[in-house]
Amino acid sequence: MNGAVRRIIVGPTAAGKSALALWLAQQRGLAIVSADSRQLYQGFDIGTAKPSPAEQRAVPHYGIDIATPQERYSAHAWAADAERWCAAAEKAGTTPVIVGGTGLYVKALVEPFGAIPPLDPARRAALAVWLESRATVELVRWCARLDPPRAHLGRTQLLRAIETAVLAGEPLSAALRPASDSAAHRPVRYLVVDPGPVLASRIALRVHHMIAAGFEQEVQQLMNSVSSDAPAWSASGYRVMRESVEGTRPRAGAIERVIIESRQYAKRQRTWFRHQLPPEQVTHLDPDAPDAPTRLLDWWDRGDAVTGHESSTGHA
């Protein structure tokens, strides 16, 4: 990106960051680079709130539908691809803005780390079958012994940490440390989009909108073509809705469970952004504030200047 400041829009799920980024991109002629570990899977559309075909036609998008459901896609791989996407956008005459809620992807781009140890597919599949039957609290205990820095994370991250420690003999947290030979960090400016306490109701509303849009039908179609152990099923809500479609979980209970899991995920995202992003590089934006569009344009139009503590508006 020619040494320019990276501008990155992040926030918890359902906060409204994608809509704001789309509007900004249309106003300033930008391209969007998705930093979403769920939207990269082909076919997993409704449950990941993937940009619609019309939105993707209106604004160039990178990082959407780039992997089959069976592929495992790491933060290290995404960061390398994101560099290429940003370069491609600039070559096409558009400036990229990075948008998403997967904090580890953002960190991998901003603070490059070494490659994650490769795992033997057969041994990993066998271990995954056993781990899948373990309760999350048990996984936490395992991770606390094998890789303590990652023991506070969600189930998917716990599984990955345990797999790496057991099969590679190295904690995943160690592999994720910044590479010693990485280039000097590029200046970064973050916009954290968060509506505050109303996020809980926004999440519930979005889940119900997904149901109305055909989330269950999408899951049924995916079940016909995607194996049950495919990594893409780890996307928030999909395993629960699959149980509902299969008849092993009541529909109403499944919908409520998706809402609960989404809120838990949002809480983890908020914690990550609060502790991992340098405060002096962060601007907070309440998407529901009347002057949100003006403040969004102001954040973008400040260009490459990163001086002092960024301004804050709305909820931290």
Kindly list the averaged pLDDT for each block of 10 residues, start to end, along the chain of length 316.
78 97 98 97 97 96 96 89 95 96 93 72 86 91 93 86 90 71 68 98 98 98 95 92 96 97 95 93 97 97 58 48
**H or E stretch including 246?**
helix 238-246
pLDDT attached to residue 114: 58
pLDDT attached to residue 33: 98
Q: Are 35 and 82 in contact (CB under 8 A)?
A: yes
Could you give the residue ranges of the DSSP H alpha helices within 11-51?
17-28
Q: Which fold has domain 6-114+178-301?
A: Rossmann fold (3.40.50)
pLDDT attached to residue 309: 43
pLDDT attached to residue 183: 44
3-state secondary structure of 9: strand
User: Distance between CA 302 and CA 316 in Å, rounded?
Assistant: 21
Task: Work out the burial of residue 100: count CB atoms within 10 Å of its CB; fewer than 13 is exposed, 13-18 middle, 19 or more buried.
Answer: buried
User: Distance between CA 63 and CA 100 in Å, rounded?
Assistant: 10
User: Distance between CA 5 and CA 191 in Å, rounded?
Assistant: 13
Could you give the residue ranges of the DSSP H alpha helices within 114-237?
121-132, 136-146, 155-168, 172-175, 199-213, 215-223
